[in-house]
């Protein structure tokens, strides 16, 4: 099990955003204590060692008091130089909170900025405004964070190309080390989904133009485009997420968290209540202890997200699909097989063949 990554899911949020289909729940703060105790219990049971990355995601991990993270970190065996990330929601943090996190050992902060336009933040149902993002970023730097990611979403309802340009300009003005940019996905079960076709979205062409503009702008600003949606200043690529894309070994603890160890997958129950009742820990340990070949489709599907691509051997049995995609200008083969620029913009078309 070496090296190993650990994901910890914190499913609590102040309110549910209008586009969110993650395992996150508002109004359940009364369950925090019991939930963290279950997380602690799960970690004790799994006993992960030599962790090279730990990622605390959500939900809104910054809703939880640092004392809980301190308890969790004390249990972990963390390798020297490990990347320890935490997702924070602007508007839920201040400098003293961030200092406590830094003292516990968190060394990478991911801020869910999403947009710098207050009108769009309100449409998304976020609890923060643009001013909160600037304040949180300043607080994080003052607390000593030198590795900060900003998440942005584009193709928002009523968003123009100029609005998106402005969002990127504001984000770059903060000089973050990392940027994740995602196009808005309207998922079933969300408020946006219920609005249906009446939701005023940019057209597909406008969406592609926004993505291309972001790629050009961020490259010009010195960012390394290393995964479809992820850009980093050299050396600041997110090590934890690269483990997912390389279909590597990771343990997930908490509600809805997935684990992938030695080719085996295990998904925890999705809701907080089901998770707290967790009785299948021994099954999880047993299953993850078996050795299996990693799923080939999954390795291709995830690995193609990385702009470096994958070696030819990984595509054994899929030569026909690869040829078809090369002929269509969506894949290219040099030392490795990877997405072309067109393939990047139409990645879902490529992935369909490997699902
Ligand atoms: S803060 Fe994040 S996890 Fe929570 S509801 Fe909003 S999008 Fe979902």
Residue 273 has pLDDT above 80, yes or no: yes
The contacts of residue 352 (CB under 8 Å, 6+ apart) are none
> Looking at residue 184, what is its pLDDT?
96
State pTM to two decimals.
0.94
Whether 276 is in a domain gets the answer no
* Distance from residue 17's CA to the centre of ligand 1 (Å): 5
Going by the DSSP 8-state scheme, the letter that residue 106 receives in this structure is -
End-to-end CA distance of the chain: 27
Report the chain's mean pLDDT, rounded to a whole number. 94
Cα–Cα distances (Å) from 203 to 65, 119, 154, 160, 212, in that order, read: 42, 20, 12, 10, 14
Which CATH number do you get for residue 100? Answer: 3.20.20.70
Helix, strand, or coil (residue 10) = strand
> Looking at residue 90, what is its pLDDT?
96
Whether 308 is in a domain gets the answer yes
The confidence band for 279, taking pLDDT boundaries of 50, 70 and 90, is low
199 and 75 in a common domain = yes
Whether 267 is in a domain gets the answer no
301 and 234 in a common domain = no
> Looking at residue 290, what is its pLDDT?
79
Residue 1 has pLDDT above 60, yes or no: no
* Distance from residue 296's CA to the centre of ligand 1 (Å): 32
Q: How many domains does the chain have?
A: 2
Range of the domain at 102: 4-244
**Closest ligand 1 atom number to CA of residue 13:** 4
* Distance from residue 140's CA to the centre of ligand 1 (Å): 20
| Beta strands 51-58; 78-88: pairing state | parallel
Residue 73 has pLDDT above 50, yes or no: yes
Whether 272 is in a domain gets the answer no
334 and 223 in a common domain = no
80 and 153 in a common domain = yes
Whether 283 is in a domain gets the answer no
Tokens in use for 192?
């946006």
Element (H, E) at 280: none
329 and 214 in a common domain = no
> Looking at residue 209, what is its pLDDT?
96
- Which of 24, 88, 191 should be mutated for ligand 1, with most atoms under 8 A from CB? 24
- pLDDT above 90 coverage of the chain, percent: 88
């Amino acid at each position: 099990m070496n090296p190993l990554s650990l994901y910890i899911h914190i499913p609590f949020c102040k309110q549910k955003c209008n586009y969110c289909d993650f395992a996150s729940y508002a109004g359940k703060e009364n369950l925090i204590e019991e939930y963290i105790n279950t997380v602690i219990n799960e970690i004790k049971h799994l006993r992960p060692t030599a962790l090279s990355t730990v990622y605390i995601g959500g939900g809104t991990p910054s809703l939880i008091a640092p004392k809980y993270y301190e308890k969790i970190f004390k249990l972990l065996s963390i390798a020297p130089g490990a990347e320890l990330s935490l997702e924070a929601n602007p508007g839920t943090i201040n400098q003293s909170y961030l200092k406590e996190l830094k003292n516990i050992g968190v060394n990478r902060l991911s801020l869910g900025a999403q947009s710098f336009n207050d009108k769009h933040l309100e449409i998304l149902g976020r609890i923060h405004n643009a001013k909160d993002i600037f304040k949180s970023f300043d607080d994080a730097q003052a607390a000593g964070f030198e590795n900060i990611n900003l998440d942005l979403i584009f193709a928002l309802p009523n968003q123009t190309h100029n609005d998106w340009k402005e969002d990127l300009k504001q984000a770059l003005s903060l000089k973050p080390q990392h940027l994740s940019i995602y196009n808005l996905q309207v998922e079933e079960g969300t408020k946006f989904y219920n609005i249906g076709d009446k939701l005023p979205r940019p057209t597909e062409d406008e969406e592609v133009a926004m993505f291309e503009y972001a790629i050009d702008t961020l490259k010009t600003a010195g960012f390394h485009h290393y995964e479809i949606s992820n850009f980093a200043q050299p050396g600041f690529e997110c090590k934890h997420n690269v483990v997912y894309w390389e279909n590597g070994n990771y343990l997930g603890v908490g509600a809805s968290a997935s684990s992938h160890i030695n080719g085996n997958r295990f998904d925890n129950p999705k809701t907080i209540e089901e998770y707290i009742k967790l009785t299948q820990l021994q099954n999880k340990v047993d299953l993850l202890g078996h050795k299996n070949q990693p799923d080939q489709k999954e390795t291709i599907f995830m690995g193609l997200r990385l702009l470096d691509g994958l070696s030819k051997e990984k595509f054994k049995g899929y030569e026909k699909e690869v040829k078809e995609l090369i002929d269509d200008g969506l894949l290219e083969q040099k030392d490795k097989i990877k997405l072309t620029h067109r393939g990047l913009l139409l990645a879902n078309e490529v992935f369909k063949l490997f699902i």
